[in-house]
Amino acid sequence: MKKDSVVSPRAGRVGALLGILLLALSLRAAVVSVSPLLSRIETDIQFTEFTTGLLAMLAPIAFAVFGLLTPRLIKSFGLETTLMISLGLAVSGQIARIFMPEVYSFLALSIVTLAGYGMGNVVLPPLVKKYFPDRIGMVTSGYVTMLAIGTWMAPQFSVPLADLTSWQMSIGSWAALSGIVLIPWLVQLFADRGVDRPDNPVHASGHPQPIAKINPWKSKVAWGLAIFLAGNSAQTYVYFTWLPPYLQNRGLDELAAGNMLALFAILGLPVSLLVPLWVPRLKHPIFAVLIFTACWVSGHLGIYLSPTQNTAVWICLAGLGQGTFAIALLMMNLRSRTTYGSGVLSGFAQGLGYAGAAVVPMLFGVVQKATDSWGAAFSMLGVCVIVMLIGAFIINSPRTIEDDSPGTEDLGKLERIN
């Protein structure tokens, strides 16, 4: 095929941008739409303390398992087709679980749903790398912002939707959002048909053609990013799980405690806009990490030492600390040279990162109950901060995952040629 007959895989990037943003908006709905309605769901499906705790752990566990599996699917089927599979799982799982008569079938279909979204988490960074290699910071800013909006939107509207209809319709309605995501990507799949780029490590069809295998298990960059993401996400999951009961235990009423959690969640929005536009300009991203870490630590200390005085101030500080999550997502592209490398790094870091984060909220509760001390439990957040900083220092230098894999030196060069 002649060079002038080759169609760029980035032709029609408006559709790809719309698909990326809509995908990001939909990724958190299934995670955060159930808990506000749990008391209503329990009128039809009997939850126990054990199954309620299991429900809370499903998201990070599913994200971990399917985060590790997704790069293999990308290698076999391509980015867009893998995305289609993930959306199919998400939509079918959300719709089917509302018809389940008992708790374990509900949880099983929740796993199907979260598997789809876990795969969606992984394909987002390489999609940005593939279609917008010249606008990584800007597009990452857009999709991380949409993640924050989606995290706020689902719990905000779940109860009003249930009031108007039922809890089944409320949690099932978010499947429509995932279904809409299919439209721009189906268009993109047809647009990419017939494009042949044998000299590119990633064809326009999304099928990666690596010159050499990238092994993230032997990559310092991959381990560093996984450690960084684990320390960050563990703190966030502790807040989502334990902030309301902790504040109520210390004297706040149910409404005030819920409002503080909503405030924490929405503060992911401004840092999501800022970080991807600012951090790529820094020679040493660790400086940004240290600023956001100071916010995390100040928030933790304030909430522990003075939970009922200036509570909103401490929540704002901790909420701004979520900038470290935006940095982690950005680094999946800044610490890779190719779409293939970005996919491998994304899957490995999110897989191990969420696996590490999954156990911390449970341990937080176990430690608090065993010691009858919130101080002992809060000390675990200090450990998470240290773990996060260790990972941040590892990924601070401008080394990529391809640099850790002998034989991949030409991957980035070939991808940039096209």
Domain locations in the chain? 3-417
Q: How confident is the model at residue 12 (pLDDT cuts 50, 70, 90)?
A: low
pLDDT value at 336 more than 80: yes
User: In this prediction, what percent of the chain has a pLDDT beyond 70?
Assistant: 89
Distances (CA, A) of 62 to 17, 119, 120, 133, 357: 26, 9, 12, 29, 12
147: left (phi over 0), alpha (psi -120 to 50) or beta: alpha
pLDDT in tens, 372-389: 889 999 999 999 999 999
On whether the CB atoms of residues 377 and 364 are closer than 8 A, the answer is yes
Mean pLDDT of 159-177: 89
Q: How far apart are CA 70 and CA 77, in angstroms?
A: 10
Mean pLDDT of 406-413: 55
pLDDT of residue 5: 35
Q: What is the mean pLDDT of the chain?
A: 84
Question: Concatenated DSSP letters for 219-235?
Answer: -HHHHHHHHHHHHHHHH
252 HSE (CA, 13 A, CB side): 22
Q: How far apart are CA 210 and CA 379, in angstroms?
A: 44
Q: How confident is the model at residue 125 (pLDDT cuts 50, 70, 90)?
A: very high
Q: How confident is the model at residue 210 (pLDDT cuts 50, 70, 90)?
A: very low
204 HSE (CA, 13 A, CB side): 19
The structure tokens listed for 268 are 């992911």
Mean pLDDT of 342-365: 89
SS3 for 283? coil
Which superfamily, per CATH, for 3-417? Answer: MFS general substrate transporter like domains (1.20.1250.20)
Strand partners, 208: 202
Residue tagged 């506000």 (tokens):
36
The structure tokens listed for 63 are 């994200």
> With the CA atoms of 96, 23, 334 and 293 taken in that order, what torsion angle do they form, in degrees rounded to the nearest 10?
-70
Q: How far apart are CA 94 and CA 97, in angstroms?
A: 6
